Chain A
Amino acid sequence: GDSVTQMEGPVTLSEEAFLTINCTYTATGYPSLFWYVQYPGEGLQLLLKATKADDKGSNKGFEATYRKETTSFHLEKGSVQVSDSAVYFCALRGNQGGKLIFGQGTELSVKP
């Protein structure tokens, strides 16, 4: 079945550091890919999405490119802030009746 694998956390960075969170997937067909963010004590917020190969999703300085050849959707940000501290989930929506398949989540902590 479809699956998503994320790099394990927690990830700790200093403010203004470069961020990469790796995400790879296994799916049949052409899934849509998403990054969700969950701040402490809150629900999930959609951060960005891509629906076909080579699409780049971007929002709030975060970017991710849908790479079909490497089945990856890595999340990047050039300069993180303390307010980016959260748990980040990579997810795909494939052909399984609209279900979202989540990765395990990566906790990011940004120190001043």
Chain B
Amino acid sequence: DTEVTQTPKHLVMGMTNKKSLKCEQHMGHRAMYWYKQKAKKPPELMFVYSYEKLSINESVPSRFSPECPNSSLLNLHLHALQPEDSALYLCASSQALAGALEQFFGPGTRLTVL
């Protein structure tokens, strides 16, 4: 199984809502990533988890809260988002954080904030 899955595929939320994005991989990878991607732009790194511990936070606003409950799962909790947060949110995983290891991406969750 070389797949990263993400749910939901689409999400529409108001600025006062609380929602969560979910990512799952069963490749035994120990590093997992959240990216934000605006249309026709490269992905921007948000968070990195290594062995279920937060390793990198790219100065992301606190209205985004990541969680890694176990080595296969990664969540992104959303609260009080702004319309400019509308984007494609991509999850990725790799065998480890260090080394020449490729990242495998999920299909993304397309988020619209009204």
Q: Does B108 contact A (CB under 8 A)?
A: yes
CA distance A103 to B108 in the complex (A): 19
Q: Write out the residue numbers on chain A whose beta carbons fall within 8 Å of the beta carbon of B103.
A: 46, 100
Asked if A87 is an interface residue, CB under 8 A from chain B, the answer is yes
Q: Is B90 interfacial (CB 8 A cutoff)?
A: yes
Q: What is the bound-complex CA distance between A46 and B102, given in angstroms?
A: 8
Whole-angstrom distance between the alpha carbons of A42 and B37 in the complex? 12
Q: Which of B42, B96, B102, B108 contacts A89 (CB 8 A)?
A: B42
Partner of A93, one of B4, B90, B100: B100
Residue contact A100 to B45, C-beta cutoff 8 Å: yes
Q: Is the CB of B41 within 8 A of A32?
A: no
Contacts A44-B90, A45-B105 known; A98 to B31 CB distance under 8 Å? yes
* B interface residues with partner A (beta carbon < 8 Å): 4, 6, 31, 40-43, 45, 48, 50, 55-56, 90, 92, 94, 96-108
Tell me the smallest distance from the CB of B107 to a CB of chain A, in Å.
4
A residues neighboring B (CB under 8 Å)? 32, 34, 36, 42-46, 49, 51, 87, 89, 93, 97-100, 102-105, 107
Measured in the bound complex, the distance between the Cα atoms of B63 and A12 in whole Å is 40
A86 to B75, CA, bound (A): 28
Q: Separation in Å of the A81 CB from the closest CB of chain B? A: 22
Q: Is the pair A102, B42 in contact by a Cβ cutoff of 8 Å?
A: yes
Mostly, the A contact residues are strand
Most buried by B among A32, A45, A49, A93: A93
Q: Known interface pairs A98-B48, A98-B98. Does A104 touch B104 (Cβ–Cβ under 8 Å)?
A: no
Across the two chains, which residue of chain A brings its CB closest to B94?
A98
Please name all residues of chain B whose beta carbon is closer than 8 Å to the beta carbon of A97 when the two chains form the complex.
48, 55-56, 97-98
Q: What separation, in Å, do the CA atoms of A33 and B43 have in the docked complex?
A: 16
CB–CB A105/B90 < 8 A? no
Which single residue of chain B is at the shortest CB-CB distance from A97? Answer: B56
- Find chain A residues with CB under 8 A from B48 CB: 97-99
- Residues of chain B lying within 8 A (CB to CB) of residue A44: 43, 90, 92, 105
**Other-chain contact of A43, B50, B100, B105 (Cβ < 8 Å):** B105
